[in-house]
A and B are shown apart, each in its own frame.
Chain A
């Protein structure tokens, strides 16, 4: 049997014999696989996918077609850490007309026992269904009798009414994959385009019409179009810190429906270009039309007449504040509205599309030109600009034109100014949904977010007393508003981590929620100086500059994404007490290049010592080539930021 299928595959794939080129047939686990102790191409692998084969094809139903997805996977468990791969989860979808079904689950664990292969079946009654939310469930099971050395193999099928996106296929896993194949058999009524991410080409890709079998729909004959995509010897995907999303990097294949051919000869373009996708969205009930419905509903919550005399800026501020303060975000990121404007007005909460499309409708209602921007949030991954696929996107922002300027904003985030978007949305570019043109809007933040901290240090009998006042703007302020807001005890707890003793046990916060003003906090910190050999050692900036380099690893393969450019300035004035001289002042320092800047100066005029330390990360993203530079720079910040001033009694 194995021989025959191999022959057929060789025929399909052309002459190609250098590597494994067929999926392993189900059940044919051999003792070589069971005896395998490590995977030579990656000796640190805890498990390896020996074969992973997927197949999508159509079956005719009474009224239409369903898509069937079948998968067969064989995994070798190499170490204890690999045992987690013996827990299998199969997600499936159900909403409206779509009710996917997982069936034909069959699975076995293979072990060597007394020199023989022992095959233990999965008891199908121990397949459980977990309901994740109203639309997604998981079929899940645990393979029996698994330990380091076992081989597990499972197969299942999913029947689906959803043919808009065929199931995508991930060639790469978090463990190495020896052989991965996706086979799709298409009917001539639906045409799909596909996109491969993370790799330039397949190990093998074949396509052709299967003319050996003729199918009929009614009396119309047709042949299936078959495509087979193969990837071999995929390395494990190893995650790292500070990347946007695994979705951006893993090697996978996505499909989207682009055209429907009707039996009567007519056709319908689903999406072929960005302008067509834009038109589609403008006509969509839960997108473009939702904006017009919101525009009509505007009278219910705002008085347009009273706004007439206001300037565009004032109108814009008014509408954005109205939405931000009266409607809260339910934390779900979506591109389509989920409830009617009237229901939103009643509920006072909604998803990101509800809130932003509603705000867009209101903006239009008061005469402001505003359009949605379709984006993908950071955790959802990057957009592929060459492929007009709607499913890359998961969120909507607002683009408004005020006196010729374009302002981008997000009505879900009351802690951001009305011309800012929250960090979760800062992800490359978004697509402006405006009829008749294709425009990509940069979401990157180019302006600096600053934190300026001033220290005034007095020397008392009890030691130093340091007055600290810190002022934060833009994203720096946003982060403080989000973490602490007006909650002085939380902020205090974060300051006390540095073992400060606060005078009156107090921190004062100004403008906690006035997003157009800087977030300011101030406090007075008790003695932090040390006296050694009659010399006084003073930290000019307390322990406020970072004290350890956050980049601890030795190298890195993905970009370092700081989200937004940052400048921090520390400025300290030490008032010299009578009878003391300066014994040591830290040296000046200056670094300036296209990536970052740092400057440090310390001066004494006999009465005061003034020290200013400032550094800037000019970019929001640094490529991995710059890792060692950034790590070095962080090291310099730690070094200069924590240097001390030494005073001595004259």
Chain B
């Protein structure tokens, strides 16, 4: 390999031996030497953040040095510094230094651009970024930049994760914090190489140091990257953010949320009357809630507009009643008010919807959530209602299942577990009939029942796509394994059914293959996750909800062919899941029942080998489970 590369360089030298000055015609592109130790595209040489709290104001200075090793690394020369009305940024400075240590380019103020930084799920947020780029044409070179930040109201002093890209190492990173000795904080950290606290003076100084050198791979079903990177989180124990509050305990933080949302249940009288009339004909509490949830789903919609403290404080119920839209906070607060008007007590509840599931650090009471739902106890039952959702009543989707929710209640805030989706609740089942027609085409009729993740996707599509997009997306989704979709029908079996049915007809000539006198029939494939080989796997496994697939396949044998041998039935069952396949013949019909279940679970690396073998064994079975018939004519 090295030989090929060097001969290529020789060719280039021959072609252009007349370079001048620093403008080389050498291949400064992303040339890397496979086989030898890979040079990273860029490296974060040093990152230094200094934080000072003074007079209850927060001052930060950030200094960063990024080394760019080749052209592919140039994407790290585009620097974005976020700011908002609450976070002021100033004193942006930047320059680059070439390989010989000469400063070659300094950022001018006019080269900084400003723009909104609104996330995909939002309609509007008052957050912005300042952006600039500094580049050189010879590698390596180093980009230095620094800036200052100031905040007057804050819930958090810092969430520090000194990594700019999963594949970019951080050689050195330092965080310092200086606070008055009477200023109370709490902090938590992960993968920190050194920590020091100097408490000798009137001000306390903390120092954290870390690095990120062993690049984390991207692997199937691995835990959230957030939990695998070095980080420090620091929060003030007492704070003022809209309201004064404390993070000494979950109860105290819960009380702050309680205050934040109290006095926001200002439902107009007209609305209150409407609510009473909706539930007037029922006495059953759950039925009342169900009716009101349907009313919510029909009347309002999700639109995220976040300004000022809007990141945490909901718009009042009157705002939603008037506009008929809101974000998760506003809609949850609105629905809580609706239930209140119906005389039903419910709780504003915070969750972290990050996927893969990221556990809440319970020992560190702080704002660790990104979503709000409503929790309603009904007898021994607990209903979990996502007010942004148009899915079935009390459907605990992939978004919120298997997570802890912080239930907000005055002086009684506490965690409660949202149950996990069971294998039954995520089943994807198919009844497939495969029949050869007279002209050699292979006809399939398939009835699908989707639950879980696919139910969520198809229900979204049914509601939000126009006919044209709908048909294109459904056909693309079904056209797997060589199926040519001729026609399909989408069936919604009712708003609270938690599943979507699709029936479809198509052709799948691929399933029958003739080789001389032999006809090979393959099974319509089932998608099995593709795990890395154990020799290369580096991360543990986290499967947040099960995968459960059930197929009943009925083949009709073509005329003139008979079954020559029947594949063996198989059943494998263990902690990881289950695989089952059974073949039966009834005259000219062969029926195959196949089930695949992958349980949810967390597995350390030591167990990876046996999980992998379980999957590999299934993949092997899937390959060989062909039916061979031979022509008797």
Residues of A within 8 A of B (CB): 44-46, 80-84, 87, 120, 123, 126, 128, 130-134, 140, 142, 144-147, 175, 236, 238, 240-241, 301-303, 306-307, 310, 314, 317-318, 321-322, 325-328, 330, 346-349, 414, 485-488, 496-497, 499, 505, 508-514, 517, 530, 532-533, 535, 537, 547-549, 552-554, 583-584, 638-639, 642-644, 646
Residues of chain B within 8 A of A488, CB atoms compared: 34
Interface residue ranges of B63-98 to A (CB < 8 Å) = 71-72, 74
- CB-based contact B484/A549 at 8 Å: yes
B475 proximity list for chain A (CB < 8 A): 552-553
A44 touches B482 (CB 8 A): no
- B325 lies within 8 A of A644 (CB): no
Footprint of A on B, CB under 8 Å? 1, 4, 8, 11-12, 15-16, 18-21, 23-34, 71-72, 74, 105, 113-116, 118, 123-124, 126, 128, 133-138, 298-299, 301, 303, 305, 322-325, 390, 463-468, 472, 475-476, 479-482, 484-486, 509-510, 513, 515-516, 518, 520, 530, 533, 535-536, 564-565, 619, 623-624, 626, 628
Contact between B516 and A142 (Cβ–Cβ < 8 Å)? Answer: no
Question: Chain A residues near B137 (CB, 8 Å)?
Answer: 325-328, 348
A131-B116 in contact (CB<8A): yes
A318 touches which of B18, B467, B565 (Cβ 8 Å): B18
Q: Is the beta-carbon distance between A142 and B323 smaller than 8 angstroms?
A: yes
* Closest 6 pairs between A and B when the two form their complex, measured CB to CB: A44-B467, A326-B137, A144-B323, A552-B479, A584-B515, A145-B324
B626–A532 contact, CB under 8 A?
yes
Q: Which of the residues A238, A552, A554 comes within 8 Å of B476, measured between beta carbons?
A: A552
- B residues in contact with A639, CB < 8 Å: 509
Within the assembled complex, what's the spacing in Å between the Cα atoms of A310 and B38?
37
Contact: A328 with B324, CB < 8 Å? no
- In the assembled complex, how far is the CB of residue B142 from the closest CB belonging to chain A, in whole angstroms? 15
Contact of A317 among B16, B390, B464, B536 (CB under 8 A): B16
Neighbouring B residues of A486 by C-beta, 8 Å:
30-34
A–B complex contacts, Cβ < 8 Å, 25 sampled = A46-B466, A123-B323, A144-B324, A145-B324, A146-B324, A147-B299, A238-B468, A307-B18, A314-B15, A318-B16, A322-B23, A326-B23, A326-B24, A348-B137, A485-B72, A487-B32, A496-B530, A505-B536, A509-B34, A513-B29, A514-B11, A532-B624, A552-B476, A583-B515, A584-B516
CA distance A347 to B4 in the complex (A): 33
Q: Is there an interface contact between B301 and A325, defined as CB atoms closer than 8 Å?
A: no
| Chain B residues positioned under 8 Å from A325 (CB to CB) | 24-29, 137
- Cβ A301 vs Cβ B21 within 8 A: yes
* Given the contacts A303-B20, A414-B71, A537 and B515 also touching, CB distance less than 8 Å: yes
A96 to chain B minimum Cβ distance, whole angstroms, is 14
Residues of A contacting B138 in the complex (Cβ-Cβ under 8 angstroms): 326
Q: Which residues of B have CB within 8 Å of A238?
A: 468
Cβ A134 vs Cβ B25 within 8 A: no
Query: Provided the pairs A44-B467, A486-B32 are in contact, do residues A142 and B1 lie with their beta carbons within 8 angstroms?
Result: no
Chain B residue nearest to A488 (CB atoms) is B34
Query: CB-CB < 8 A to B298: which residues of A?
Result: 147
Q: Do B135 and A349 touch (CB < 8 A)?
A: yes
Partner of B30, one of A147, A349, A513, A554: A513
Chain A residue at smallest Cβ distance from B623:
A530
> Closest CB-CB distance, B271 to chain A, in whole Å?
12
**Cα-based distance from A3 to B305 in the complex (angstroms):** 41
Complex alpha-carbon distance, A486 and B241, angstroms: 50
Complex: A642 Cα to B482 Cα, angstroms: 12
Q: Are A328 and B71 in contact (CB under 8 A)?
A: yes
Shortest A322–chain B CB gap in Å is: 5
Contact B305 A306 (CB under 8 A): no
Q: Roughly how many angstroms separate A306 CA and B17 CA in the complex, as a whole number?
A: 10
Please name all residues of chain B whose beta carbon is closer than 8 Å to the beta carbon of A535 when the two chains form the complex.
518
- What A residues does B530 contact at CB under 8 A? 496-497, 499
A147 and B123 CA atoms in complex are apart in Å by 17
- In the complex, the chain B residue whose C-beta lies closest to that of A415 is B29
Cβ of A638 and Cβ of B623 under 8 Å apart?
no
